Amino acid sequence: MVKFKMRNNIIFAVFILAVVGFLLSISGKKYPQIPASESHLGITEVSGCMKCHGPDALMPRKPAHPPKDDCFKCHKKKRVKPSK
């Protein structure tokens, strides 16, 4: 019976670590935010981003950039200051 409980504790600890890791991964703090500039505000689709950040475009991402193309998973929009 004691053994059984011990195993549950380990499963519980692993579960907590997984949850914390998941929350960190979606918090977006460690990635540069999307600037709140003219060129960024209106865009809601990845294909829009690629017009400027695609491989042959105006501002390609660094070669060291993570290979995934689901921009909004990592890059969150900067909050726009409310205009007067």
Report the interface residues with ligand HEC, using CB under 6 A. 31-32, 34-35, 37, 39-40, 43, 46, 48-53, 58-59, 61-62, 64-66, 68-71, 73-75
Smallest gap, in angstroms, from Cβ of residue 32 to ligand HEC? 4
Name which of 67 and 82 has its Cβ closer to ligand HEC: 67
Smallest gap, in angstroms, from Cβ of residue 3 to ligand HEC? 40
Q: Which residues neighbour 38 within 8 Å (Cβ) at sequence distance 6 or greater?
A: none
The CB density around residue 61, as the number of other CB atoms within 10 Å, is 15
Name which of 9 and 45 has its Cβ closer to ligand HEC: 45
**Which of 61, 76, 64, 69 has the alpha carbon at shortest distance from 31?**
76
Contact 49, 43 (CB under 8 A): yes
